[in-house]
Each structure stands twice: as C-alpha cells, then as structure tokens.
A and B are shown apart, each in its own frame.
Chain A
Amino acid sequence: MCMSFDPQIIKKDFPILNRLVNGKPLVYLDSGATSQKPQSVIDAIVGYYREHNANVHRGAHTLGDESTALYHKARQKIAQFIGAKSQKEIIFVRNTSEALNLVASAWGSENLGEGDVILTTQMEHHSNIVPWQILATTKRARVELIAVKNDGFLDMDDFERKLKLKPKIVGIVHVSNALGTVNPIKEMTKMAHKVGALVVVDGAQSVPHMKIEVSDLGCDFFAFSGHKVLAPMGSGVLWGRKELLELMPPYMGGGGMISEVHESGFVAGELPDKFEAGTPNVEAAIGLMVAVEYLEKLGMDSVREHDKSIVKYALCALGGLSEVELLGTKEVEKRSGSVSFVYKGVHAHDVATILDSEGVAVRSGHHCTMPLHEVMGVVASIRASFNVYTTKEDIDRLIEALAKVKKVFGK
C-alpha cells in the first residue's frame, strides 16, 4: 500500500486537470459520469497503436501475437483486481449497461418464463431497470422494485417481503450513483440465494473507490465500466460465475465467438470468447489494465479512505449552506463517490451552468435515476462526484462558485 496518499500530487498525473474552463482552472466534479485519465493510461493507448496494433486471435504474425498477448494480460489483470477465480469469467464489454444487457438477454432467454418475477430496486440507474423491463415484456414476466427509504437506504423489510415472490434474479446497485449509498450486497446476496434467486450487481460506482472481491460479495454477476475507473471509454467488464456463463447462450453472434460454423449451424466457442463477438476494443482493455495498475500503486484501501474524507468534507461544507438540501445519508461509512443536492429555488441546470462559468464541472438532472427522483419528490438534482484526484480545495471552489448562484438569482 502507498504510504501517503496525496491528491495534490496525484492530480499532476492527469493532464486534463491543468486546463482552464471559462478562464478559470478546471475543477472536475463529474467523475461519477466518467473519470479523467492519467498520463500512463493515455501513453498506453498511444503506445499500443504506435507499436502493437493488430487484430487479436487472428493471423500468425508478430503484431497479432503481441496484441493478443496484451489483450490476455489485460484480462488476467482485471480478474486478479476484482478477485475472480479465473480469467475466463471476465467478459470485456463497452460499459456497465452492455454488461447488464448481456445478462438480461443471454441468461433471461433460457431462464425466465411467463409470470416470473425479476427484482431490482428504486435506487437503480436506468441500466439496471430498463434491460429487465425489456426482458419482462418479451417473456411476460414482471419487474418489482425494492423501495428506498427517506434516509437513502434500501428498505430491507420490503426486500424481505418481495423475496417471498420468489424472484428468479435480483439486480442491485452496489453504490448509488445519485445518493452515494453503499448497499449491503453481501447480506442481500445471502438473502436472495436463500430463495434461489441469482444476484447481479451494478458495480459502476463502487469499483472506482473500493476494493472489490467478487467471491467475498457472493454475487453471481458483477458489472462495471472501465471509463469510471481511470480507463478509456469503451472499456467495461462483466464478471460472472463460470458455471452460469457456460450454461448461457451467446449474446451476439459473429467472428471470434464460435468454435465451428457449418451450413447447418454453429458451435459456440469457449469462455470468454463466446460472449465477445467481433473485433474487441483492445486499446480499451489495455487502458483498463494500466488504470488498474495505477490504482493498485495507490492502494485501494487508501483510495477508499480518501473517498470517505472527500465525501465527509463535501457533506460538511455543503451542509453549512442554508440554500442547499443534501440528498442521502449523512453516515460517511455508508457512502461513496458523490454528494448530490438540491439548491432551493433554483433549477439544477441553472446551478450547473453558473458553476461551469466558474470552471466547476458538476452533473445536473436526474442522473439516469428517474424512479429514484420520483420517490424523493425531486425533479432534478446537482451531483458533485469524486475520484482519486479530487482535493478539498476542489470542494472549496465549488462552495465559492455556489455563492455566484446566490448573486445571480438573489436566493
């Protein structure tokens, strides 16, 4: 583990954070949407194209071998990073949404029938609701949502009640992208398994901030996006238990995913190729490997400690403003990655535009969680989200910029 974690020094590894926005030094507080990338990741992408680029799994030539070897190395690194038993359990996809769609489509096609129940939560990103709604429509199944309480936590009594419906699969967000709540995945997985349900976890907002051991969580599928973990866009991962992935039919057909093709039909390839039809995004996988190496150098325990200290600082600073209404729990131990709030009397988009004029980038809107915003009775909120390069000074700049909102709107 790294002996000292200094975000001021870490910041220097991210070239984009040196730029000006509207004449002011950029304060990037939208890492929950996508993280910025360190120089080492940028160099890895450039290096791949300058020296190794060739298609993988094809052709007996040196570049093809190098490219294939790097792609495999990336898969092994990711397997180790999230505690997978085998690199065969790591499927490279574009993002969390694609990973969740893969599960809904491939697992759902053979394991869900009319009248079956799919359980997910009111806290989910649309990507862990809509694929299930699509599946439910085609299968005449139904989607039930576990309620969220006013304090920003899932209603565990409601979860217990809904488990009595004998769901076939339960989708849970590990860390809420809108509230920052860390959900008790281990406990919920145990409860779901007792009724025979599989558990699929959306880890998009947890992987950037905490050590993940899929075997420890106990879930059956785990999805995340590389681009929120300092890696390039187009890098995403689905982890699934090997025995489940082996039984699932392919998601997409094409090159790379078969072992044999005849006029009469095809034989699917082995894991993980079975789920990776077509030329993969090799550059993104390599970028993700280098991003993971960067995080491992910092130490995931230190990353989580820094995450909590920034969340705590932001809750405290924003909580001191009478115009601000914070969303979610105040318990820092049970939060990660972001702080969302409403600015009383001013629409979130107006707040975000004024903050941008001061060089401060935040997300405004419903953050792809419309059901959750409906429950909270909020049309749109403002989210400040963090990563390893976020400093307390960044939060101070946010607070200073919010004073301009007051100046413009007189509120």
Chain B
Amino acid sequence: MTEEIVFEQEFPVKGGDFSRAGQVSCKIKNLLQELGLGTEIVLRAAIVSYEAEMNIIMYAWQGCLDLSVTPHRIRIVVKDSGPGIEDINLAMKEGYSTATLEMRELGFGAGMGLPNIKKNADEFWITSEAGRGTRLEMTILTNGQKP
C-alpha cells in the first residue's frame, strides 16, 4: 500500500547557476523544519539535498529535485539532463572528481558528493546514461516522527 503523501514539491535547478547554488536546499530544510521533523533527520536530508543540488549546478544542464514526505520517510528524487556518469563505481569513490578549477575555488568538487549522499541516506539508488543524464533517488526514514 502506498503511504499517504503529507507534502510534495518539485524544485527546478539550472545547471551552471552558481549564484543560486544552495537556495533550493535551504528551502527544503526550512520546509522540513516547519513539518516538525527532528534536527538529525532534517540535517541528513539537507546534506543529501545540497550535495545533489550542487551536482546539477556543477555538471548538468538542468534538473529538478522532487521532494515528498510521508509519515515514515522523506524521499528526494533528482533528475538531470546532462552528460551523465560513465563509470558510477568510479564516481562513488571518495576523492574522485571531474570538477573544474572554478568549482574548486568555491569550495566544492572534492569528490565527496555521491559518497556523502550514500552515507546520509537510508536508501540510495543511482542510474545514469552517458550523454543523457542522471537520476538519483534517496530515502531518509523518519522513524515515525511527525508528520
């Protein structure tokens, strides 16, 4: 049986738009706090969302984060149109990065993004097609906390 969705919203993210980077994740954090979820759960969701948002901005042409909250889980699905990832196993390796100098000067692109998403999410799926784009699906269990 599908769980009742308490909250759902889609957030578009434009590739290359460094000036707005992080704004969507700040909104997501505020929303989750307003829903009354606990600090640790909100923190993990914020990290997962921010890493995914930065990946779209750094590597893709455009994408979106789809947030849905049910009584037992936070689900974030991220889809982008972009170059995709040729070797997912390599991209999952800590420290592996294809970031440019500009990204690194901003403090990002250290090759920790995908491993950090995996660490903070309870469930994580990634699929990618070279030349087309990448899809991430992350779930964070809320242990029956509100909502």
Say if A and B assemble together: no
